[in-house]
Amino acid sequence: MAAQDRAPSAPSIVDVTRPSAARIYDWYLDGVHNYAIDREFGERVVRLWPHVKGVARQNRDFLRRLVVNALDAGVRQFLDLGSGVPTVGNVHEIVRDHLPAGERAAVVYVDYEHVAAAHARVLLEEDGATGWAGVVQADLRDPMAVFGHETSRALLDRGQPICVMLIAVLHFVGGADNVPNLLADYARRLAPGSWLGLSHIASDEADPADQAAVEAFRKAYDNTSNPLWVRDRAEISGWFAGLDGWRLVDPGVAHLIDWRPDRPVTPADRALRPFAWCGAAEKLG
């Protein structure tokens, strides 16, 4: 069955005349929660920057390793900001597969996109995870609304460590929005032992041809509801350095495949290395 035949009906409140970043990312990952406008945009972007689908998959694998490493560090609560529409390897699935027997965890997904929030709720119900995982429809740029939502208040204990994740989402935050201030706002609300992890599109170590392709990719998003910014390692490292009382966990700010890899790195992996930066930090006591 073709993906378009399995796609959900569009709710009346959803604008399907403009492509959505959340639904486009779902298409990059071969998901089904996207519409014709998103697929048309995605196909055009792949022609501009053929690496985009591979980078999306590497990014998803980084998310998995981030969750597993946070669990290993003792974190049992996860806040996935800009979580997007449901696809394979969601945070609650990773937690369920790696949580030590007999222990409890909590997962909260946050996205402002109607389709993302609605289908995440359905997925959690189908998975029987609604007792310990939930969905907040809110803008991640408003930490007060995120933490003040009834679902967050019910599931998250802010007196205990939380892993806050901003995976492939901060490149949609820019312009009048101040990313360092936003990260600091989240950071100050978290208990010692909390983690903050992020990943971000980049091209500062790519060759000129690939830099031009990434720039074409960036410009394409000007025609969506989610304009995109490309940033370099120095700027992203500065975000972490600006978090008072936090320390970067090894290996610091790195390319996706270099952050605590748990499988052999292939030539295909190495070809995608220059196109994203990622990292995680821990709040000290």
The per-residue pLDDT for range 97-110, each reduced to its tens digit, is 999 999 999 999 99
pLDDT at 3: 43
Decide if pLDDT at 261 tops 90. yes
pLDDT at 30: 86
The answer to whether the Cα torsion of 13, 16, 22, 27 is positive or negative is: positive
3-state secondary structure of 8: coil
Angle between the N-to-C axes of helices 208-220 and 36-48, in degrees from 0 to 180, rounded to the nearest 10:
160
pLDDT at 24: 86
Decide if pLDDT at 7 tops 60. no
Report how far apart the first and last C-alpha atoms of the chain are (Å, whole number).
52
Architecture of the CATH domain 11-283:
3-Layer(aba) Sandwich (3.40)
- pLDDT bin (cut points 50, 70, 90) of residue 19 is confident
pLDDT tens, position by position, 204-230:
999 999 999 999 999 998 877 789 999
Angle between the N-to-C axes of helices 52-72 and 36-48, in degrees from 0 to 180, rounded to the nearest 10:
100
User: Which residue has 């298409």 as its token pair?
Assistant: 27
3-state secondary structure of 41: helix
- Mean of per-residue pLDDT scores for the chain: 91
pLDDT at 8: 52
Q: Is the pTM of this model over 0.95?
A: no
d(CA 84, CA 216): 23
pLDDT at 174: 93
Decide if pLDDT at 16 tops 70. no
Structure tokens at 22: 């959340």
**Residue 32 CA from chain centroid, whole number:** 18
Going by the DSSP 8-state scheme, the letter that residue 284 receives in this structure is -
CB 90 within 8 A of CB 64: no
pLDDT tens, position by position, 121-167:
888 888 888 899 999 999 999 999 999 999 999 999 999 999 999 99
Weakest-pLDDT range from 3-7, 22-26, 138-142, 154-158: 3-7
Decide if pLDDT at 4 tops 60. no
C-alpha closest to that of 59 among 213, 245, 272 = 272
Decide if pLDDT at 2 tops 50. no
